[in-house]
Chain A
Amino acid sequence: QVQLQESGPGLVKPSETLSLTCSVSGGSVSSDYWSWIRQPPGKGLEWIGDIYYRGNTNYNPSLKSRVAILVDPSKNQFSLRLSSVTAADTAVYYCAREYCSGGGCYLDHWGQGTLVTVSS
C-alpha cells in the first residue's frame, strides 16, 4: 500500500519561498507521476502540478511562474517549491500519486495534508 507524508514549515513569511517534501513508502517515485494539490481553508481543491520520475513536469498555468516540483529517487521523495508567497497561498497542501492507466490518469493515493500559513 502506497503511503505519502508531507513535511515542511507550517508558517512562511510573505514574499518568501514555501518548500514542502513528500516522502513515499510502499512505492517508488521512480515510476508513475507524483502530484501536488492545495486547498485554501473552506474552499475547493486546486491542482498545482505534477512530475514524472524522469523529471518531466506539468504545472497549473496560474502558478507556473512561481512553482517548481522536483523528484529525488535516492530518498524516494518529491518536493514542492512555491516562490513569492502571499496570504492567498495559505492552504492545506496535499501530495498524491497520480496513476496513469488505459489512457487516463487519476490520484489514487494521498497524503494527509499539511497546513501552510503565510503570515508575517
Chain B
Amino acid sequence: DTGVSQDPRHKITKRGQNVTFRCDPISEHNRLYWYRQTLGQGPEFLTYFQNEAQLEKSRLLSDRFSAERPKGSFSTLEIQRTEQGDSAMYLCASSFVQSYEQYFGPGTRLTVT
C-alpha cells in the first residue's frame, strides 16, 4: 500500500500522560499536514511541514502539542499532559508542493480517560 499511513490507529490514555503519533506520507510528497477531527465536525488544520520545515501552526495547537518531521520523511505529533478535550481523531495528509490535492491517512483515534 503506497498511501498515507498512521500509527497507532487507536490510542487510549489517561489524562496527564504523553502520547506520540506517527505519520508516514506518500513517498516523495514534500508537504505533510496534521488535522484534528472531533465528533460532528470536519477536520481542522493543526500544522504543516514542507520537507523538514514546520511552516505554519494553528492557534489550536497549544504549547502541549509539538510536531516534527526529521529528514523530511515521516512526522510525529506529540501531546504532552493530555486532557479530555484532546480526545479526537488526528489525521495526517500529504501532497506535492505544486499540487493542491491532499491525500489523507486513516487517522489515529485518541481517547483520553
Q: Do A and B come from one complex?
A: no
